[in-house]
Amino acid sequence: MHMEVLIRAMHGAIAEGRGFLRVNEYDMKKQNLGFGLGLRTDHFHHVIEHKPKVDWFEVISENFMVGGGKPRHYLETIRQDYPIVMHGVSMSIGSTDPLNMDYLKSLRTLAAEIQPAWISDHLCFTTIGGVNSHDLLPMPYTEEALKHVVERIKQVQDFLGRQMLLENASSYLTYQSDEMSEWEFINQICQQADCLMLFDVNNIYVSARNHGFDPMEYVQAVDPNRVQQIHLAGHTDYGDYVIDTHDQAVRDPVWQLYKETIKLMGPVSTMIERDDNIPPFAELEKELDHARALSHSALTESNREQSRGQYQCLI
């Protein structure tokens, strides 16, 4: 392209308010990594020796914020063969404490070294008054909280120089002060802060059971253009309530919800998140194969339904 034409096109884009972040967003959205797994210490050797057919791995950022040694060495080896995404648990994006700039610096340094496809954390608060609960504590869904989170995500994205993904956490309680649903809250955040979403299907199921809403209402409400990644995990069912334990296989209702999600959203990078009671690698591969098959059949069904819809229109 001639330089003058290029400059004119850029001026046009700026005049229309199209910033560079938006360009990045489209670049990121094109990136469907396929089917991945959470990388766990127990599987380092297996992954290095057998190079399993897994499309990508997710690592817990905080576990690698160390100087060196085995974990960093294994990650360095594994990332030569697989795309990596970084998933954090301590950003505490919803907290009224100031943003922890030391943490964000460590995160940025780690990202520069690992070159992840993207970085995610949770919609929650973890630290308050300087004390870290190391838990994903739920936000009240209020205008005040919305404004607060949006402002902080913008700051984080500016600092990291990239869009971040925000994951819906599972919750066990509802606040008196709520002014909107969780899906309205997260949709507004993604839109106003221009961030993406890590859509945890299990967490939606868990919260739906704990609060008595229809999980499909959540799935249908979320803007599919914002969903960059999906988590699938296991939970423990106590009858009246469900706890997001991540220590067993994905359960049937979550698989069903995943299939419906893919039917609505199209293909999305999907992974199994197992944090405890870690099984042999082959077991997780089997679960991942099931996710592949479900995604495939969801996409086939959704194409068929769409073409049926077109014929009906013609008639």
Partner 1 sequence: MSDLKTIQQDFMAFLQGKPSQMTKHIKSQQPVATSTRLGIYQNAYISRLRETIDSDHPILGSYLGDDLFDQMVPAYIEQYPSSYPSLRDFCQHIPQFLRDNAPFSEHPILAELAAFEQILINAFDAADATAVGPEKLGTIPPQSWPTMKLRFRPCVQRFGAHWNCVQSWQMLKQEKQPPPPQQLTTPTLWILWRNPERLTEFRSMEPDEAMLLDLALKGGDFADMCDALLNFHGEDEVAMRALTILQQWIELGLIGDIRF
Binding site for partner 1 (CB under 8 A): 62-63, 65-73, 90, 95-96, 100, 103, 106, 125, 127-135, 137, 140, 142, 144-145, 148, 172-178, 210-212, 240-241, 243
Give the nearest distance from C-beta 232 to partner 1 in angstroms: 21
Q: At what angle do helices 101-114 and 143-160 cross, to 10 degrees?
A: 50
- Distance between CA 196 and CA 165 in Å, rounded? 5
- Distance between CA 292 and CA 294 in Å, rounded? 6
- Distance between CA 103 and CA 119 in Å, rounded? 14
Looking at the Cβ atoms of 29 and 72, the one nearer to partner 1 is: 72
Looking at the Cβ atoms of 52 and 71, the one nearer to partner 1 is: 71
- Distance between CA 42 and CA 229 in Å, rounded? 24
Looking at the Cβ atoms of 32 and 236, the one nearer to partner 1 is: 236
- DSSP designation for 94: T
CA distances from 231 to 35, 36, 119, 140, 148 (A): 10, 10, 14, 23, 26
Give the nearest distance from C-beta 138 to partner 1 in angstroms: 9
Looking at the Cβ atoms of 128 and 299, the one nearer to partner 1 is: 128
Give the nearest distance from C-beta 23 to partner 1 in angstroms: 31
Give the nearest distance from C-beta 100 to partner 1 in angstroms: 7
What's the chain's length in residues?
A: 315
Looking at the Cβ atoms of 110 and 250, the one nearer to partner 1 is: 110
Q: What are phi and psi of 129, to 5 degrees?
A: 60, 30
Give the nearest distance from C-beta 242 to partner 1 in angstroms: 10
Give the nearest distance from C-beta 182 to partner 1 in angstroms: 13
By the 8 A CB rule, do 257 and 232 touch?
no
- Spell out the residues 6+ positions from residue 207 whose beta carbon is closer than 8 angstroms to its own: 168, 170, 171, 182, 213
Looking at the Cβ atoms of 76 and 158, the one nearer to partner 1 is: 76
Give the nearest distance from C-beta 191 to partner 1 in angstroms: 20
Looking at the Cβ atoms of 70 and 286, the one nearer to partner 1 is: 70
By the 8 A CB rule, do 196 and 31 touch?
no
Give the nearest distance from C-beta 245 to partner 1 in angstroms: 10
Q: CA angle at residue 258 from 24 to 54, to 5 degrees? A: 65
Give the nearest distance from C-beta 48 to partner 1 in angstroms: 13
Q: CA angle at residue 273 from 37 to 55, to 5 degrees? A: 15
The alpha carbon of 192 is separated from its chain's Cα centroid by a whole number of angstroms, namely 18
Looking at the Cβ atoms of 85 and 110, the one nearer to partner 1 is: 110
Looking at the Cβ atoms of 177 and 307, the one nearer to partner 1 is: 177
Q: Structure tokens of 209?
A: 């059971």
